[in-house]
Amino acid sequence: MSLSDIAGFRLRSLGFVAGALSLAVLGGCQVRPLYSDGPTGSTSIALAAIEISEADDRVEQEVRNALVFLTSRGQGEPVNPQYHLALSVSHRTMGVLYESTDNDHDDDDAGAGRIVVKADYNLTKTATGETVKAGNRTAVALVDFPQQEFAKIRAVRDGENRAAKELAEIIGADLAAALGR
């Protein structure tokens, strides 16, 4: 056997050992879906048992409504809640791009902007008051501000609705992950 044959055999053996070791390591990894227990499993039942605090304004009501729909899978609020979600939502509108007109440099109007919706939340067990999950999340919706005033108001409202729905989905995923453990 020549030296090159021995080196080739060692390289093939090393590749085989590395591949077998990789498979053994990956065999220990587990990836499971967020709702791995199905629509009637323990995570879904726990999510459906969450009552959500009352809203203080329209945007917070949009987040709350979306969360009620997501956690209950369209069934509405629970009769006998096992968990309470304290939710506090704030929002603001910002212009990010400014268009200036050539004939009047003093009257710059925002041409594009963003709506930022933030939420602080705290999920507790109703029976004990023990915190299960607490956190804060943010969602941003980009908007174009037209010159016509009603269209601008409608664009802001649509942006708030989009950001509220996105925020509810993020919080819903947080809650499902916490209750699925």
Per-domain residue ranges for the chain? 37-98+111-180
The alpha carbons of the chain give a radius of gyration, in whole angstroms, of 26
* C-alpha distances in Å from residue 138, one per residue of 41, 62, 86, 157: 29, 14, 16, 17
pLDDT in tens, the chain (181 residues): 655 555 555 656 666 666 666 665 656 655 555 555 555 568 888 888 999 999 999 999 999 999 999 998 888 888 899 999 999 999 999 876 655 555 554 455 658 889 999 999 999 999 999 999 999 999 999 998 888 889 889 999 999 999 999 999 999 999 999 988 7
The sheet that has 83-99: what strands, in order across it? 50-52, 83-99, 109-125, 131-144
Contact 117, 89 (CB under 8 A): yes
Beta strands 50-52; 83-99: pairing state: parallel
Burial class (CB in 10 A: 0-12, 13-18, 19+), 59: buried
Residues whose CB falls within 8 Å of the CB of residue 126, separated by 6 or more in sequence, listed in order: 51, 81, 82, 83, 84
Q: Which residue has the tokens 């594009």?
A: 112
Task: Quote the distance between the C-alpha of residue 5 and its chain's center.
Answer: 57
pLDDT of the residue at 117: 97
CATH level 2 (architecture), domain 37-98+111-180: 2-Layer Sandwich (3.30)
